[in-house]
Amino acid sequence: MSRDQCNDLERLASLGSLARGLAHEMNTPLSAIVCNNDTIDTALRRIRERLDNPANQSEESFISEMKNLLGVVTDSLQTSRVASDRLRHFIRSLRDYSRIGDDAQSMADIREPIEMALLLVAHELRGRITVVKEFGDIPPMEFHKTQLSQVFLNLLMNSAQAIEGNGEIRIRTWKDGNTGYIAISDNGPGMSPEVQARLFEQGFTTKNANTGTGLGLPICLEIVEAHHGRIEIRSEVGKGATFTIVLPLAADSVESERTTNG
Amino acid sequence: MDNPDYRPSILIVDDEEMVTSSLRNLFRLQTNYRTVTYTSPMEALADSSKDFFDLVVSDYLMPGMDGITFLGRFKEAQPQAMRILLTGYADKESAIRAINQVGLYQYVEKPWDNDSLLMSVKNALDKASLLRTLDTKIQELQAAQFSLMDFQRELIRTFI
Protein backbone atom coordinates (compact mmCIF):
# COMPACT_ATOMS: atom_id res chain seq x y z
CA MET A 1 0.00 0.00 0.00
CA SER A 2 1.36 3.42 -0.94
CA ARG A 3 1.95 6.14 1.62
CA ASP A 4 -0.93 8.21 0.20
CA GLN A 5 -3.32 5.26 0.36
CA CYS A 6 -2.30 4.64 3.95
CA ASN A 7 -2.99 8.31 4.78
CA ASP A 8 -6.37 8.14 3.07
CA LEU A 9 -7.32 5.06 5.08
CA GLU A 10 -6.28 6.62 8.38
CA ARG A 11 -8.18 9.80 7.53
CA LEU A 12 -11.37 7.90 6.71
CA ALA A 13 -10.98 5.81 9.86
CA SER A 14 -10.73 8.98 11.97
CA LEU A 15 -13.99 10.17 10.40
CA GLY A 16 -15.60 6.90 11.43
CA SER A 17 -14.76 7.51 15.06
CA LEU A 18 -16.14 11.04 14.77
CA ALA A 19 -19.37 9.98 13.03
CA ARG A 20 -21.58 10.17 16.10
CA GLY A 21 -20.35 13.66 16.94
CA LEU A 22 -20.62 14.80 13.32
CA ALA A 23 -24.25 13.68 13.19
CA HIS A 24 -24.93 15.50 16.43
CA GLU A 25 -23.26 18.65 15.14
CA MET A 26 -25.44 18.69 12.01
CA ASN A 27 -28.54 18.07 14.08
CA THR A 28 -28.60 21.59 15.51
CA PRO A 29 -28.88 23.50 12.21
CA LEU A 30 -31.24 20.80 10.95
CA SER A 31 -33.47 21.29 14.02
CA ALA A 32 -33.58 25.03 13.37
CA ILE A 33 -34.51 24.53 9.72
CA VAL A 34 -37.24 21.97 10.51
CA CYS A 35 -38.70 24.27 13.20
CA ASN A 36 -38.59 27.35 10.99
CA ASN A 37 -40.12 25.60 7.96
CA ASP A 38 -43.09 24.65 10.09
CA THR A 39 -43.35 28.14 11.61
CA ILE A 40 -43.21 29.79 8.16
CA ASP A 41 -45.82 27.36 6.85
CA THR A 42 -48.22 28.17 9.70
CA ALA A 43 -47.65 31.93 9.37
CA LEU A 44 -48.26 31.88 5.61
CA ARG A 45 -51.41 29.79 6.06
CA ARG A 46 -52.68 32.32 8.56
CA ILE A 47 -51.93 35.20 6.18
CA ARG A 48 -53.81 33.40 3.38
CA GLU A 49 -56.80 32.76 5.66
CA ARG A 50 -56.99 36.43 6.67
CA LEU A 51 -56.77 37.56 3.05
CA ASP A 52 -59.44 35.09 1.92
CA ASN A 53 -61.84 35.80 4.78
CA PRO A 54 -61.28 39.30 6.08
CA ALA A 55 -62.60 39.24 9.64
CA ASN A 56 -64.52 42.06 11.18
CA GLN A 57 -61.50 43.93 12.24
CA SER A 58 -60.34 47.48 11.71
CA GLU A 59 -57.83 48.23 9.00
CA GLU A 60 -55.35 49.19 11.68
CA SER A 61 -55.53 45.85 13.52
CA PHE A 62 -55.47 43.97 10.18
CA ILE A 63 -52.26 45.73 9.16
CA SER A 64 -50.67 45.19 12.56
CA GLU A 65 -51.53 41.47 12.44
CA MET A 66 -50.11 41.16 8.92
CA LYS A 67 -46.93 42.96 9.96
CA ASN A 68 -46.50 40.60 12.90
CA LEU A 69 -47.02 37.51 10.71
CA LEU A 70 -44.63 38.78 8.05
CA GLY A 71 -42.12 39.62 10.80
CA VAL A 72 -42.24 36.00 11.98
CA VAL A 73 -41.72 34.78 8.39
CA THR A 74 -38.76 37.14 7.84
CA ASP A 75 -37.07 36.24 11.14
CA SER A 76 -37.60 32.51 10.61
CA LEU A 77 -36.20 32.69 7.07
CA GLN A 78 -33.18 34.60 8.33
CA THR A 79 -32.52 31.95 11.01
CA SER A 80 -32.94 29.16 8.46
CA ARG A 81 -30.46 30.89 6.18
CA VAL A 82 -27.85 30.98 8.97
CA ALA A 83 -28.55 27.29 9.70
CA SER A 84 -28.30 26.32 6.00
CA ASP A 85 -24.99 28.18 5.68
CA ARG A 86 -23.66 26.28 8.68
CA LEU A 87 -24.74 22.95 7.15
CA ARG A 88 -23.27 23.83 3.77
CA HIS A 89 -19.96 24.84 5.32
CA PHE A 90 -19.93 21.70 7.41
CA ILE A 91 -20.70 19.38 4.51
CA ARG A 92 -18.06 21.05 2.35
CA SER A 93 -15.45 20.42 5.06
CA LEU A 94 -16.58 16.83 5.40
CA ARG A 95 -16.40 16.32 1.64
CA ASP A 96 -12.95 17.92 1.39
CA TYR A 97 -11.70 15.91 4.32
CA SER A 98 -12.92 12.59 2.93
CA ARG A 99 -11.59 13.27 -0.57
CA ILE A 100 -9.36 10.47 -1.75
CA GLY A 101 -6.42 10.74 -4.06
CA ASP A 102 -6.88 14.20 -5.61
CA ASP A 103 -5.54 16.47 -2.89
CA ALA A 104 -3.40 18.67 -5.09
CA GLN A 105 -0.95 21.05 -3.48
CA SER A 106 -2.10 24.66 -3.74
CA MET A 107 -1.46 28.12 -2.34
CA ALA A 108 -3.74 28.75 0.60
CA ASP A 109 -4.10 30.24 4.04
CA ILE A 110 -2.89 27.83 6.74
CA ARG A 111 -5.93 28.79 8.83
CA GLU A 112 -8.18 26.94 6.34
CA PRO A 113 -7.10 23.38 7.25
CA ILE A 114 -7.04 24.39 10.96
CA GLU A 115 -10.64 25.66 10.79
CA MET A 116 -11.67 22.57 8.82
CA ALA A 117 -10.25 20.30 11.52
CA LEU A 118 -11.85 22.40 14.27
CA LEU A 119 -15.25 22.12 12.62
CA LEU A 120 -14.97 18.34 12.38
CA VAL A 121 -13.92 17.88 16.02
CA ALA A 122 -16.31 20.56 17.33
CA HIS A 123 -18.53 18.01 19.00
CA GLU A 124 -15.65 16.34 20.84
CA LEU A 125 -14.70 19.74 22.30
CA ARG A 126 -18.13 21.27 22.86
CA GLY A 127 -19.10 21.95 26.41
CA ARG A 128 -15.80 20.70 27.80
CA ILE A 129 -12.88 22.34 26.11
CA THR A 130 -12.33 26.01 25.36
CA VAL A 131 -10.44 26.71 22.14
CA VAL A 132 -8.31 29.84 22.14
CA LYS A 133 -7.08 30.96 18.71
CA GLU A 134 -4.14 33.29 18.41
CA PHE A 135 -3.60 33.51 14.68
CA GLY A 136 -0.62 35.62 13.73
CA ASP A 137 0.10 36.58 10.16
CA ILE A 138 1.37 33.77 7.99
CA PRO A 139 1.38 34.55 4.26
CA PRO A 140 -0.39 32.08 1.94
CA MET A 141 1.74 29.00 1.39
CA GLU A 142 1.87 25.84 -0.72
CA PHE A 143 0.38 22.76 0.94
CA HIS A 144 -1.99 19.82 0.61
CA LYS A 145 -5.07 21.11 2.39
CA THR A 146 -6.65 17.74 3.13
CA GLN A 147 -3.40 16.26 4.40
CA LEU A 148 -2.65 19.16 6.74
CA SER A 149 -6.22 19.17 8.04
CA GLN A 150 -5.64 15.48 8.84
CA VAL A 151 -2.58 16.48 10.88
CA PHE A 152 -4.48 19.19 12.77
CA LEU A 153 -7.47 16.91 13.35
CA ASN A 154 -5.18 14.23 14.81
CA LEU A 155 -3.43 16.69 17.11
CA LEU A 156 -6.71 18.26 18.24
CA MET A 157 -8.22 14.84 18.94
CA ASN A 158 -5.13 13.79 20.90
CA SER A 159 -5.35 16.94 23.00
CA ALA A 160 -9.09 16.55 23.53
CA GLN A 161 -8.66 12.94 24.61
CA ALA A 162 -5.73 13.81 26.88
CA ILE A 163 -7.72 16.43 28.76
CA GLU A 164 -9.85 14.85 31.48
CA GLY A 165 -12.90 16.92 32.29
CA ASN A 166 -12.71 20.59 31.38
CA GLY A 167 -9.69 22.18 29.78
CA GLU A 168 -8.25 24.45 27.17
CA ILE A 169 -6.64 24.03 23.76
CA ARG A 170 -4.66 26.96 22.43
CA ILE A 171 -3.82 27.25 18.74
CA ARG A 172 -1.16 29.77 17.79
CA THR A 173 0.29 30.58 14.40
CA TRP A 174 3.21 32.85 13.69
CA LYS A 175 6.12 33.23 11.34
CA ASP A 176 9.76 33.84 11.87
CA GLY A 177 11.73 34.71 8.76
CA ASN A 178 11.14 32.03 6.16
CA THR A 179 9.39 29.62 8.54
CA GLY A 180 5.76 29.26 9.61
CA TYR A 181 4.78 27.83 13.01
CA ILE A 182 1.49 26.28 14.09
CA ALA A 183 1.43 25.32 17.77
CA ILE A 184 -1.38 23.32 19.37
CA SER A 185 -1.17 23.31 23.18
CA ASP A 186 -3.37 21.63 25.74
CA ASN A 187 -3.49 21.82 29.52
CA GLY A 188 -3.93 18.05 29.86
CA PRO A 189 -1.77 15.76 32.00
CA GLY A 190 1.32 16.01 29.76
CA MET A 191 3.71 13.18 28.84
CA SER A 192 6.81 11.64 30.35
CA PRO A 193 10.07 11.72 28.32
CA GLU A 194 9.68 7.94 27.78
CA VAL A 195 6.26 8.39 26.16
CA GLN A 196 7.50 11.34 24.11
CA ALA A 197 10.39 9.28 22.76
CA ARG A 198 7.98 6.69 21.36
CA LEU A 199 5.27 9.02 19.99
CA PHE A 200 6.14 8.51 16.33
CA GLU A 201 6.54 4.73 16.53
CA GLN A 202 3.97 2.91 14.44
CA GLY A 203 1.41 1.14 16.63
CA PHE A 204 2.42 2.95 19.83
CA THR A 205 -0.58 4.28 21.72
CA THR A 206 -1.48 5.30 25.25
CA LYS A 207 -5.20 5.15 24.44
CA ASN A 208 -7.48 2.16 24.67
CA ALA A 209 -8.13 0.01 21.61
CA ASN A 210 -11.37 1.83 20.78
CA THR A 211 -9.88 5.28 20.46
CA GLY A 212 -6.27 4.81 19.40
CA THR A 213 -4.77 2.97 16.43
CA GLY A 214 -1.24 4.19 17.07
CA LEU A 215 -1.07 5.31 13.43
CA GLY A 216 -2.16 8.93 13.87
CA LEU A 217 1.13 10.58 14.86
CA PRO A 218 3.45 8.57 12.55
CA ILE A 219 1.22 9.59 9.65
CA CYS A 220 1.19 13.22 10.85
CA LEU A 221 4.98 13.18 10.86
CA GLU A 222 5.09 11.68 7.35
CA ILE A 223 2.74 14.35 6.04
CA VAL A 224 4.65 17.19 7.67
CA GLU A 225 8.01 15.81 6.44
CA ALA A 226 6.58 15.52 2.93
CA HIS A 227 5.94 19.26 3.27
CA HIS A 228 9.64 19.67 4.21
CA GLY A 229 8.66 20.48 7.76
CA ARG A 230 9.03 18.97 11.22
CA ILE A 231 7.01 18.44 14.42
CA GLU A 232 8.40 19.73 17.73
CA ILE A 233 7.04 18.47 21.03
CA ARG A 234 7.24 20.20 24.38
CA SER A 235 5.65 18.50 27.35
CA GLU A 236 6.11 17.74 31.02
CA VAL A 237 4.04 15.50 33.23
CA GLY A 238 1.40 17.69 34.86
CA LYS A 239 2.10 20.63 32.59
CA GLY A 240 0.23 19.85 29.36
CA ALA A 241 1.68 19.38 25.91
CA THR A 242 2.50 21.52 22.89
CA PHE A 243 2.90 20.14 19.38
CA THR A 244 4.40 22.65 16.99
CA ILE A 245 4.29 22.12 13.24
CA VAL A 246 7.20 23.94 11.64
CA LEU A 247 6.85 24.52 7.89
CA PRO A 248 9.04 26.35 5.41
CA LEU A 249 7.17 29.23 3.78
CA ALA A 250 7.12 29.40 -0.02
CA ALA A 251 10.01 31.42 -1.38
CA ASP A 252 7.76 33.74 -3.39
CA SER A 253 5.70 34.77 -0.36
CA VAL A 254 8.91 35.74 1.41
CA GLU A 255 10.00 37.63 -1.69
CA SER A 256 6.73 39.54 -1.90
CA GLU A 257 7.01 40.44 1.77
CA ARG A 258 10.51 41.81 1.27
CA THR A 259 9.12 43.94 -1.49
CA THR A 260 6.29 45.15 0.74
CA ASN A 261 8.67 46.00 3.54
CA GLY A 262 10.78 47.96 1.06
CA MET B 1 -54.66 29.01 33.03
CA ASP B 2 -57.26 30.24 35.49
CA ASN B 3 -56.82 33.80 34.39
CA PRO B 4 -57.15 34.10 30.59
CA ASP B 5 -55.15 37.34 30.61
CA TYR B 6 -52.21 35.68 32.34
CA ARG B 7 -49.15 35.74 30.11
CA PRO B 8 -46.74 32.90 30.96
CA SER B 9 -43.02 33.63 30.91
CA ILE B 10 -40.57 31.23 29.31
CA LEU B 11 -36.81 31.25 29.59
CA ILE B 12 -34.95 29.62 26.68
CA VAL B 13 -31.25 28.78 27.03
CA ASP B 14 -29.17 27.31 24.19
CA ASP B 15 -25.64 28.24 23.16
CA GLU B 16 -26.78 28.24 19.53
CA GLU B 17 -28.52 31.46 18.62
CA MET B 18 -30.22 29.68 15.70
CA VAL B 19 -32.06 27.49 18.20
CA THR B 20 -33.13 30.29 20.56
CA SER B 21 -34.40 32.44 17.69
CA SER B 22 -36.24 29.50 16.08
CA LEU B 23 -38.04 28.85 19.37
CA ARG B 24 -38.71 32.54 19.94
CA ASN B 25 -40.36 32.79 16.51
CA LEU B 26 -42.40 29.67 17.14
CA PHE B 27 -43.75 30.94 20.47
CA ARG B 28 -44.32 34.40 19.03
CA LEU B 29 -46.53 32.95 16.30
CA GLN B 30 -48.37 30.27 18.23
CA THR B 31 -48.72 31.56 21.78
CA ASN B 32 -49.02 34.68 23.92
CA TYR B 33 -46.02 33.63 26.04
CA ARG B 34 -43.36 36.14 26.92
CA THR B 35 -40.00 34.62 25.93
CA VAL B 36 -36.55 35.58 27.15
CA THR B 37 -33.54 33.92 25.54
CA TYR B 38 -29.92 33.45 26.58
CA THR B 39 -27.01 31.81 24.76
CA SER B 40 -25.01 31.48 28.00
CA PRO B 41 -26.29 29.47 30.97
CA MET B 42 -24.00 31.45 33.29
CA GLU B 43 -25.57 34.74 32.22
CA ALA B 44 -29.04 33.28 32.57
CA LEU B 45 -28.19 32.26 36.15
CA ALA B 46 -26.64 35.63 36.95
CA ASP B 47 -29.90 37.31 35.87
CA SER B 48 -32.17 34.75 37.55
CA SER B 49 -33.02 37.09 40.42
CA LYS B 50 -34.21 39.81 38.03
CA ASP B 51 -37.06 38.02 36.32
CA PHE B 52 -39.66 35.39 37.19
CA PHE B 53 -40.35 32.43 34.87
CA ASP B 54 -43.05 29.78 34.70
CA LEU B 55 -40.93 27.50 32.54
CA VAL B 56 -37.30 26.99 31.48
CA VAL B 57 -36.28 25.25 28.26
CA SER B 58 -32.57 24.44 28.25
CA ASP B 59 -30.16 22.79 25.84
CA TYR B 60 -28.00 20.00 27.26
CA LEU B 61 -24.55 20.43 25.72
CA MET B 62 -23.32 23.99 26.26
CA PRO B 63 -19.86 25.46 26.83
CA GLY B 64 -19.09 26.23 30.47
CA MET B 65 -22.07 24.45 31.99
CA ASP B 66 -24.25 21.55 30.88
CA GLY B 67 -28.02 21.83 30.83
CA ILE B 68 -28.54 19.51 33.82
CA THR B 69 -26.24 21.57 36.05
CA PHE B 70 -27.88 24.75 34.79
CA LEU B 71 -31.42 23.48 35.47
CA GLY B 72 -30.33 22.26 38.91
CA ARG B 73 -28.96 25.69 39.83
CA PHE B 74 -31.92 27.46 38.32
CA LYS B 75 -34.19 25.26 40.43
CA GLU B 76 -32.51 26.64 43.55
CA ALA B 77 -33.23 30.19 42.37
CA GLN B 78 -36.75 29.57 41.06
CA PRO B 79 -38.09 26.22 42.30
CA GLN B 80 -41.57 26.92 40.95
CA ALA B 81 -40.41 27.01 37.30
CA MET B 82 -41.07 23.87 35.24
CA ARG B 83 -38.00 22.45 33.51
CA ILE B 84 -37.69 21.00 29.99
CA LEU B 85 -34.38 19.74 28.58
CA LEU B 86 -33.60 19.86 24.85
CA THR B 87 -31.19 17.10 23.86
CA GLY B 88 -29.45 15.66 20.87
CA TYR B 89 -29.78 11.92 20.34
CA ALA B 90 -26.35 11.20 21.83
CA ASP B 91 -27.30 12.85 25.15
CA LYS B 92 -30.44 10.82 25.72
CA GLU B 93 -29.00 8.84 28.60
CA SER B 94 -27.89 11.97 30.44
CA ALA B 95 -31.35 13.41 29.91
CA ILE B 96 -33.00 10.38 31.46
CA ARG B 97 -30.71 10.64 34.49
CA ALA B 98 -31.65 14.32 34.79
CA ILE B 99 -35.33 13.52 35.14
CA ASN B 100 -34.69 12.45 38.72
CA GLN B 101 -31.67 14.61 39.41
CA VAL B 102 -33.22 18.00 38.74
CA GLY B 103 -36.92 17.14 38.67
CA LEU B 104 -37.28 17.49 34.94
CA TYR B 105 -40.82 17.84 33.58
CA GLN B 106 -39.76 16.37 30.24
CA TYR B 107 -36.90 16.02 27.79
CA VAL B 108 -37.37 16.82 24.12
CA GLU B 109 -35.13 15.45 21.40
CA LYS B 110 -33.70 17.58 18.61
CA PRO B 111 -34.98 17.97 15.97
CA TRP B 112 -38.26 18.51 17.77
CA ASP B 113 -41.74 18.49 16.33
CA ASN B 114 -43.25 21.97 16.83
CA ASP B 115 -46.74 20.71 17.70
CA SER B 116 -45.55 18.23 20.30
CA LEU B 117 -43.13 20.76 21.80
CA LEU B 118 -45.96 23.31 22.07
CA MET B 119 -48.13 20.63 23.69
CA SER B 120 -45.40 19.70 26.20
CA VAL B 121 -44.88 23.36 27.07
CA LYS B 122 -48.61 23.95 27.46
CA ASN B 123 -48.99 20.88 29.69
CA ALA B 124 -46.04 21.97 31.80
CA LEU B 125 -47.53 25.45 32.19
CA ASP B 126 -50.92 23.94 33.12
CA LYS B 127 -49.19 21.84 35.74
CA ALA B 128 -47.35 24.92 37.05
CA SER B 129 -50.65 26.78 37.21
CA LEU B 130 -52.33 23.89 39.06
CA LEU B 131 -49.47 23.76 41.55
CA ARG B 132 -49.76 27.50 42.10
CA THR B 133 -53.53 27.20 42.65
CA LEU B 134 -52.96 24.31 45.02
CA ASP B 135 -50.39 26.35 46.90
CA THR B 136 -52.81 29.27 47.21
CA LYS B 137 -55.58 26.95 48.42
CA ILE B 138 -53.28 25.40 51.01
CA GLN B 139 -52.35 28.86 52.25
CA GLU B 140 -56.03 29.85 52.39
CA LEU B 141 -56.86 26.67 54.30
CA GLN B 142 -54.01 27.28 56.71
CA ALA B 143 -55.18 30.83 57.27
CA ALA B 144 -58.72 29.56 57.82
CA GLN B 145 -57.43 26.96 60.24
CA PHE B 146 -55.51 29.61 62.20
CA SER B 147 -58.56 31.85 62.47
CA LEU B 148 -60.66 28.86 63.58
CA MET B 149 -58.10 28.12 66.26
CA ASP B 150 -58.23 31.75 67.38
CA PHE B 151 -62.02 31.53 67.50
CA GLN B 152 -61.81 28.30 69.44
CA ARG B 153 -59.44 29.90 71.97
CA GLU B 154 -61.81 32.84 72.32
CA LEU B 155 -64.76 30.47 72.87
CA ILE B 156 -62.86 28.64 75.57
CA ARG B 157 -61.86 31.91 77.24
CA THR B 158 -65.45 33.15 77.15
CA PHE B 159 -67.30 30.09 78.36
CA ILE B 160 -64.91 28.10 80.52
What are the DSSP E strand ranges found in chain A? Answer: 105-108, 129-135, 141-144, 167-176, 179-186, 230-235, 241-248
Cβ–Cβ of B111/A35 closer than 8 Å?
yes
The per-residue pLDDT for range A134-151, each reduced to its tens digit, is 999 889 988 988 889 999
The per-residue pLDDT for range A77-101, each reduced to its tens digit, is 999 999 999 999 889 888 888 877 6
Cβ–Cβ of A130/B63 closer than 8 Å?
yes
Minimum distance, in Å, between the CA of residue B16 and any CA atom of chain A: 8
Q: Which residue has the higher pLDDT, A132 or A17?
A: A132
Tell me which residue in A34, A72, A83 faces B28 most closely, judged by beta carbons: A72
- Which residue of B25, B42, B68, B119 to mutate against A (max A Cβ within 10 Å)? B25
pLDDT > 70: percent of chain A: 89
Under 8 Å CB pairs connecting chains A and B tally to 76
**pLDDT tens for the 160 residues of chain B, in order:** 456 778 999 999 999 999 999 999 999 999 999 999 999 999 999 999 899 999 999 999 888 888 999 999 999 999 999 999 998 866 777 777 777 888 889 989 999 999 999 999 999 999 999 988 998 999 999 999 999 999 999 989 888 7
What ipTM was predicted for this assembly?
A: 0.84
Cβ–Cβ of A69/B29 closer than 8 Å?
yes
Minimum distance, in Å, between the CA of residue A177 and any CA atom of chain B: 38
Tell me which residue in A43, A72, A79 faces B18 most closely, judged by beta carbons: A79
Cβ–Cβ of B18/A83 closer than 8 Å?
yes
Nearest to A37 by CA among B113, B99, B36, B12: B113
Minimum distance, in Å, between the CA of residue B42 and any CA atom of chain A: 13
Per-residue confidence band for A213, with pLDDT thresholds at 50, 70 and 90: low
Cα angle, residue B34 at apex, residues B30 and B40 outer, rounded to 5°:
110
Alpha-carbon Rg for chain B, nearest whole angstrom, is 20
Residues of B in contact with A34 (CB under 8 A): 111-112
Per-residue confidence band for A258, with pLDDT thresholds at 50, 70 and 90: very low
B92/B85 Cα distance (integer angstroms):
10
Supply the pLDDT for residue A253.
44
3-state SS string for chain B: CCCCCCCCEEEEECCCHHHHHHHHHHHHHHCCCEEEEECCHHHHHHCCCCCCCCEEEEECCCCCCCHHHHHHHHHHHCCCCEEEEEECHHHHHHHHHHHHHCCCCEEEECCCCHHHHHHHHHHHHHHHHHHHHHHHHHHHHHHHHHHHHHHHHHHHHHHC
Per-residue confidence band for A209, with pLDDT thresholds at 50, 70 and 90: low
Per-residue confidence band for A208, with pLDDT thresholds at 50, 70 and 90: low
Residues of A in contact with B29 (CB under 8 A): 39, 42-43, 46, 69, 72
**Count of beta carbons in the 10 Å neighbourhood of residue A118:** 20
Q: Which residue has the higher pLDDT, B38 or A16?
A: B38
Does A24 touch chain B if contact means CB atoms closer than 8 Å?
yes
A127 → chain B, closest CA residue: B63
pLDDT > 90: percent of chain A: 46
